Structure 1
Amino acid sequence: MVGYRALDVPQAVHRGMPSSTLTFIVSLDEGVQAADTAEALPSAKPNPIILGGLHVQASHVRQCRGQAGVQVAVHPLASRALFGMPSAELSVTDFDARPILGRGSVELHERLVQAPRWADAFDLVACYLADARWRRDDDGVRPEVAHAWHLLHRSRGTAPVAHVAERVGLSQRHLNTLFRREVGRTPKAVAMLMRFEHATARIAGDTRRAGRVDLARIAGDTGYCDQAHLTREFVRFAGVSPRAWLAEEFQNIQDGGHTDRSQWGHDAAESDRLGDPAGP
């Protein structure tokens, strides 16, 4: 759970990278203007509450000075328990969560706008999600799916799907069916997304620390055959190459320094009110 507030940012379009978690955002202002394509962004309306399914392509977000809100990374297998439906049924093109979550989410936004401190904002969101979980006795997620997700996540997307299916006692075809039904993606697609997410974190982390990045080494460390393989997968998920993404997100990489292009005030919290939806 992260609280963000834009202090001094340029008016620009931000590339929202795909990840293996659902994104739940409750704004402290009129909302976030987001779309699945850059072409659709100008006509998109700001949404005070955003919830989307498991994206495998970058979204586009209008970046504005003064934006603020609380963003939560939600495990896809927690969707039934928290939102009343599997993540497979969440839209990946319509970001407005209000038709799904109803009046309670609107009231959450109204209360969040009045929160005097980040701690109060985090507590409101955590209580909202915990209350949603307690209202449902059974999350309905099959244990084979939860265990398969755990195995893929533990390997950072490098575990062969056939091996994972064998470990959970299902045929690969049956596991594919269950994954599609629950998260809207096959285990292979989820594994590729997890591997991409790990590589992206490594690229960003190395750039922030050293101002430069060795893509060939990161490709090898994160399970890709070579740098070209990493670049192809990066274009698949992000829509641009790693170098192009770095040019968007960072400055002065070539001369050995780096600066975050956006200056944000932020805080973060890990609530003890929420457990691991995938179990032990």
Structure 2
Amino acid sequence: MVGYRALDVPESVHRGLPSSTLTFIVSLDDGVEAAATLGALAAARPIPVILGGLHVEASHVRQRRGQAGVQLAVHPLASRALFGLPAAELSLTDFDAAPMLGRHAQRLHEQLASAPCWSDAFTLASRYLVAQCNRHRVGVRTEVAAAWELLRRSRGTAPIARVAEQVGLSQRHLSTLFRREVGRSPKEVAMLMRFEYATARMANAARGPRVDLADIAVAAGYADQAHLTREFVRYTGTTPGAWLVEEFQNIQDGGHGQRSPWGDDCNEPDRLVDPASA
């Protein structure tokens, strides 16, 4: 859970990178303007509460001065308990949570917008999530949860056939269950995890003297730097070098706050003035 308040940012378009977590954002203002494509962003309206599934292409977010909110990286296997439906049924193009969460989403937005401090905002968000779990009381198949954990521990490098064998399912059956639950195959989830780890390493390295993409590629499980670049372009539409310039050009002026171990925060502004986390 991350709180952000962007007080000193250029008005621009931020690229939200794919990840293996669901994006759940409760704005403290009118909302976030986001779209699946740059062309669709022109018609995007502010959305007070955003909820997005496991997308494999970069989203686009209009970055404005004064934006503030609480953003949560949600485990996809918690979707049934928190939102009442599997992650596979979450939209990849329409990020508005209202149709799924109804009046509860509007109430949460109003409460957080009125919160006097970050700690109160985090408490309200936590209480909402606990209440949702108590209301739905559902889980996922143990084989799916176990397979996800094996992929997570390996940062997406574990062979899918080995994972399926370890949880006692055929590779085909495991893929069917994953698609039914999160909307992606185990292989797609593994690739997202590997990509996340690589982008997290890039983000951390960008705060230092240089970014060694070849070293990051090997550490993340790619064959080489060229392999990493191809995957990065496929997910984001740009190269790692171009993304680093785009995302971290103002790093010496106090750019990104510390990221989570799982990589890029989808709607994090280029500068976090007064960041907080819980």
Which TM-score band applies after superposition, normalised by the shorter structure?
over 0.9
SS in 2 for 1:129: helix
Residue of structure 2 equivalent to 1:211: 209
Distance in 2, matches of 1:27 and 1:219, equals 35
User: Is 1:92–2:99 an aligned residue pair?
Assistant: no
* Paired position in structure 1 for 2:237: 239
Structure 2 counterpart of 1:266: 275
Deviations 1:133-161 (A, max 9, x none): 0112332x110000000000000000000
Task: Tell me what 2:77 maps to.
Answer: 77
Aligned match of 2:262: none
SS at 2:5 equivalent:
strand
Q: Which residue does the alignment assign to 1:8?
A: 8
Alignment-mate amino acid for residue 147 of structure 1: A
Aligned to 1:278: none
Amino acid at match of 1:55: H
SS for the counterpart of 1:61 is strand
> What is the number of equivalent residue pairs in this alignment?
264
Please report how far the alpha carbon of residue 251 of structure 1 lies from its aligned counterpart in structure 2 after TM superposition: 2.1
Q: 1:258 to 1:124 in 2, by over 3 A?
A: closer
CA distance in 1, matches of 2:253, 2:31: 30
SS in 1 for 2:19: coil
TM-score with structure 1 setting the length = 0.92
Q: Which residue of 1 aligns with 2:261?
A: none
How far apart in 2 are the matches of 1:263 and 1:79? 28
In the alignment, structure 1 segments of 5+ residues that lack a partner are: 270-280
Counterpart of 2:124? Answer: 124
**What's the secondary structure of 1:51's corresponding residue?**
strand
**Secondary structure of 2:244's partner?**
helix
Residue of structure 1 equivalent to 2:266: none
Percent identical across equivalent pairs? 69
Instruction: Please identify runs of 4+ aligned residues in structure 1 that moved more than 6 A.
Output: none
Closer, same or farther: CA 161–258 of 1 in aligned 2, 3 Å: farther
> Any conservation in 2 of the 1:251–1:259 contact (CA below 8 Å)?
no
Give, in whole Å, the separation in 2 of the partners of 1:263 and 1:159. 35
Query: Would the alpha carbon gap of residues 258 and 66 (structure 1) be closer, same or farther in structure 2, given more than 3 Å must change?
Result: closer
Residue by residue, what CA displacement relative to the aligned partner does 1:155-187 show, whole Å, maximum 9, x if unpaired?
Answer: 000000000000000000000100000000000
Moved more, 115-124 or 244-253: 244-253
Give the distance between the partners of 2:248 and 2:133, measured in 1 at CA: 39
The answer to whether the Cα contact below 8 Å between 1:58 and 1:237 also exists between their aligned partners in 2 is yes
Question: What is the aligned-residue RMSD (CA, Å)?
Answer: 1.3
Q: Is the 8 A contact 1:41 1:61 kept in 2?
A: yes
- Give 3-state SS (helix, strand or coil) of 1:130's partner: helix
How has the CA–CA distance of structure 1 residues 252 and 100 changed in structure 2, closer, same or farther, with 3 Å as cutoff? Answer: closer
Inter-partner Cα distance in structure 2 for 1:3 and 1:86: 26
Q: Separation in 2 of the partners of 1:259 and 1:215?
A: 23
